[in-house]
Amino acid sequence: MNRKFVFLALVFISTVLFLSPLLYSVENRKSEVLVITVNGAINPVVSEYIGKSIKKASEMNAEALIIELDTPGGLDTSMRSIAKDIIGSSVPVVVYVSPSGARAASAGVFITMAAHVAAMSPGTNIGAAHPVALGEKMDKAVAEKAVNDAAAYIKSIAETRGRNVKWAEDAVRKSVSATETEALKSNIIDLIAKDISALLSEIDGKKITTAYGDKTLKTAGAKIIRHEMGLRHKILNLISDPNVAYILLMLGFYGLFFELTNPGAIFPGVIGGICLVLAFYSFQTLPVNYAGLLLIIIGLILFILEVKVASYGMLTIGGIVSMVLGSLMLFESPLPFLKLSLSVIIPAVIVTALFFVLTFRLAYKAYKRKPVTGAEGLIGLEGIAKTDITPGGGMVVVHGEFWSAYSDNVIQKEERVVVEDVKGLRVKVRPKKIMNSLQKVQHIP
Q: 123 φ, ψ to 5°?
A: 85, 25
The amino acid at residue 104 is A
What lies within 8 Å, CB to CB, of 28 at 6+ separation is: none
Q: Is 282 a catalytic residue?
A: no
Q: Are 71 and 38 in contact (CB under 8 A)?
A: yes
Rounded to an integer, what distance in angstroms lies between the CA atom of residue 124 and that of residue 110? 16
Beta strands in 15-136 (DSSP E): 32-39, 64-70, 93-97, 103-105, 117-120, 125-127
Rounded to an integer, what distance in angstroms lies between the CA atom of residue 154 and that of residue 108? 11
β-bridge partners, 201: none
Q: Which of 334, 341, 285, 330 is nearest to 106 (CA)?
A: 334
What lies within 8 Å, CB to CB, of 408 at 6+ separation is: 391, 428, 430
Q: Are 242 and 222 in contact (CB under 8 A)?
A: no
Alpha helices in 174-289 (DSSP H): 180-185, 196-203, 231-239, 242-261, 267-284
- The one catalytic residue in 47, 81, 106, 282 is 106
Going from the C-alpha of 150 to that of each of 46, 106, 130, 143, 161, the distances in angstroms are 20, 11, 8, 11, 17
Q: Is 52 a catalytic residue?
A: no
> How far is C-alpha 219 from the chain's CA centre?
38
What is the C-alpha R_g of the chain? 38
DSSP string, 244-268: HHHHHHHHHHHHHHHHHHSTT--HH
Beta strands in 109-156 (DSSP E): 117-120, 125-127
> How far is C-alpha 178 from the chain's CA centre?
33
The amino acid at residue 259 is E
- The one catalytic residue in 30, 84, 145, 365 is 145
Percent helix, strand, coil in the chain, to 5, is 55, 20, 30
Catalytic residue list: 106, 145
